[in-house]
Structure 1
Amino acid sequence: MLYSTSGSRLFIANAPVEESGTFPASGWVQIGEIEALGMLGVEWDVDSGNPVGEWDSNGMPVEYSLKTGMRRPEMPLVMGNDPTDAGQLLLWTAARSQASYPFRLVFPDGTTTRAWFALVIRIGEVFDTANSVMKLQVDLKPTSDISRNGVILT
């Protein structure tokens, strides 16, 4: 199944909550003017090496790779800068906090969702070109597994 992202809505909880694996039932604030949602997932550090004496049939050394550590990459968000938007104001608050905030992404069908906890690790106004509108760029650093339609993914 293909998922359309056009018309997706992104929410932030109105306060940080302890990462207990459960997300708040209420208190979600929509973040307005979202233009780009970035990505959610995992990536691995990889160590590569050539054990002594390992050669392929052409006499070339064989390199092996080993996954060594999994991490959650940053999720960049881009939106039109609206200083009156309640969700954007909460992002500024979260950026000044040491706490992780719950986030929830609702796809246009209204039932497909993603939810996670994240630190707001960067926020700033992007002036871009002189004939454009000011943007707000935010980087989220997920700190929890990602819930996909209520099922936790690792």
Structure 2
Amino acid sequence: MAKLVHSVQRVIPASPDAVFDLLARPSQHAVFDGSGTVQSAVKGPERLGLGDEFSMAMKMGVKYATTSRVVEFEEGRRIAWQTGLRRNGRLLFGGQVWRFELTDRGDGSTLVRQSFDLTEAKAAPVVNRLAAGPTEANMRATLERLADHFAS
């Protein structure tokens, strides 16, 4: 059976609170996105909380939009959103979860673990086969951009 949760991690030169605050603001997601697909926030709150929904303008060859719902939220420690198409509260397409887990290293830096979780995704085997490799590379680039953002 294929691995359904792909993760990367890196030490970021900032406090967990500072990193979390950036992650919790959809308007800032393009700042740290390593895939180059996130263009801008379209709809949603300024700062995310559990259960909040937000939409992002995306571009991967063609322009499109995604809608995500915050499914995990622990201030300063963990935030995750599930991307997918929903109708009447039911997930029809997608379902992958993007998760960030933060660990305070006690020296002003934070260990950030980013995961791409396909456990609940529709068509998970297909998505896993096609996207796992590029997604892990993009997550490494995301953590590099986070590190660069806080290093400057």
Does 1 or 2 have the higher relative contact order (CA < 8 Å, sep 6+)?
A: 2
What TM-score range do you get, normalising by the shorter chain?
under 0.3
Which structure dedicates a bigger proportion of its chain to helix? Answer: 2
